[in-house]
Amino acid sequence: MRLVITGGAGFIGSNFILYMMEKYPTYKIINIDTLTYAGNLENLKEVENHSNYKFIKADINDVNAMNSVFQEGIDAVINFAAESHVDRSILQPEVFVRTNVLGTQVLLEASKKYNVSKYVQVSTDEVYGSLGKTGYFREETPIAPNSPYSASKAGGDLLVRAYYETYNMPVNITRCSNNYGPYQFPEKLIPLMLTNALDDRSLPVYGDGLNVRDWLYVEDHCSAIDLVLHEGKIGEVYNIGGNNEKTNIEIVNTLINELGKSSSLIKYVQDRLGHDRRYAIDATKITRDLGWKPKHNFNTGIKDTIEWYLKNKEWWERIQSGKYQNYYENRYGAL
């Protein structure tokens, strides 16, 4: 099996590559990543010399670069490549449209041209918008994105759907809730609060801190995508979630308590524009049809995550100082 994994130097993509290389030692993995600020090849140090792994630095918007990879013969594509941070999308929406919408179309076109057997679009529960106090996102829930990020992800999803309906392409879309775990870039809630608390810096909680997210350990997201890749019914959407709703302030308090830090570090700050109040996923379909079950519960998952950040201080300090961005040149030479 020859797999193209786009965005493989990011948080979930790198966890997925490590997961797949261990589980399927004979698969050939081609990681296409343009290395934005969020791409970090240090995440993949342990596989970088493996004969079944290849890294290609390229933008998914680059039609020629994609064609030259795909013409070698690719069995499946898993598209993780994206601009992924909501706050950045509020400041700079254009780049989100470019990668998350237009880049998806380039990948779909290359997949069609070279007869890829499965295309998996890694999407998000945010495309469904926001919930009130009750209810869950199901696969049939209408798409109603609220941020430029979620709107751009929804745009990508609609193109995937259109390629299925129009060209009968073998696609799946996955929509997962908030992930946490090793290698998450410290701009997202959990790693930001963790690294700030470890440095005794303030912990910026948006609004009243009562927005709710459903948290899933990243390895459980990887196992779900693995199942969808191999067994997902063509044309279907699968929701993935942890059944684990927490308010943001609960998360911050958990981290403070686990680290033995003072709650005086918490600072309530101005709310995010258009801040979605609550996300919650109904993952019945993937559980019933593909037999997926998460392995980690939040209590152990968060402890493992804290331990990982404590053990890998150098990893996040190199991000804070910007030094991680030299890794590509040191490893692969200047372009």
Helix runs in the chain, H state only: 11-23, 63-70, 86-91, 93-96, 104-113, 148-167, 189-198, 218-231, 248-259, 284-290, 298-311, 313-321, 327-332
Q: Min. distance of Cβ 56 from ligand NAD in angstroms? A: 10
What does 81 interact with, of ligand NAD, ligand DAU, none (CB < 5 to 8 A by kind)? ligand NAD
| C-alpha span between 84 and 307 (Å, rounded) | 25
Range 236-260 burial, b when 16+ CB lie within 10 A, else e: bbbbbbbbbbbbbbebbbbbbeebe
Query: Is 283 a binder of ligand NAD (CB under 6 A)?
Result: no
- The contact pattern for ligand NAD, residues 119-158, with x = CB under 6 A and - = no contact, is ---x-x----------------------------x-----
| C-alpha span between 292 and 288 (Å, rounded) | 8
Query: Is 85 a binder of ligand DAU (CB under 6 A)?
Result: yes
| C-alpha span between 92 and 184 (Å, rounded) | 21
What does 34 interact with, of ligand NAD, ligand DAU, none (CB < 5 to 8 A by kind)? ligand NAD
Residue 2 makes CB contacts below 8 A (sequence gap 6+) with 27, 28, 30, 72, 73, 74, 75, 76
Residue 271 is classified by DSSP as P
Which SS3 state, helix, strand or coil, does residue 3 take? strand
106-125 positions binding ligand DAU, by CB under 6 A: 124-125
Active site residue 126: yes
Q: Min. distance of Cβ 26 from ligand NAD in angstroms? A: 25
Closest by Cα among 182, 191, 184 to 255: 191
Q: How many CB atoms lie within 10 A of CB 184?
A: 24
Marked catalytic residue, from 33, 59, 126, 220: 126
Active site residue 125: yes
Q: Min. distance of Cβ 12 from ligand NAD in angstroms? A: 4
What does 80 interact with, of ligand DAU, ligand NAD, none (CB < 5 to 8 A by kind)? ligand NAD
What does 235 interact with, of ligand DAU, ligand NAD, none (CB < 5 to 8 A by kind)? none
**Contacting residue, 10, 170, 232, 301, with ligand NAD by CB under 6 A:** 10
| C-alpha span between 49 and 227 (Å, rounded) | 27
**Contacting residue, 205, 216, 228, 306, with ligand DAU by CB under 6 A:** 205
Q: Min. distance of Cβ 115 from ligand NAD in angstroms? A: 22
Query: Is 81 a binder of ligand NAD (CB under 6 A)?
Result: yes
Element at 168 (helix H, strand E): none
Query: Is 272 a binder of ligand DAU (CB under 6 A)?
Result: yes
Marked catalytic residue, from 59, 125, 226, 245: 125
What does 206 interact with, of ligand NAD, ligand DAU, none (CB < 5 to 8 A by kind)? ligand DAU
177-206 positions binding ligand NAD, by CB under 6 A: 178-179, 185
Tokens 């059944």 correspond to what residue? Answer: 243
Rg (CA), the chain: 19
Closest by Cα among 283, 279, 281 to 133: 279
What does 12 interact with, of ligand NAD, ligand DAU, none (CB < 5 to 8 A by kind)? ligand NAD
Residue 105 makes CB contacts below 8 A (sequence gap 6+) with 159
- Interacting residue ranges for ligand DAU, rule: CB under 6 A: 84-86, 124-126, 177-178, 188-189, 192, 204-206, 211, 213, 248, 272, 279
- Interacting residue ranges for ligand NAD, rule: CB under 6 A: 6-7, 9-13, 33-36, 38-39, 59-61, 80-84, 99, 103, 122, 124, 153, 176, 178-179, 185
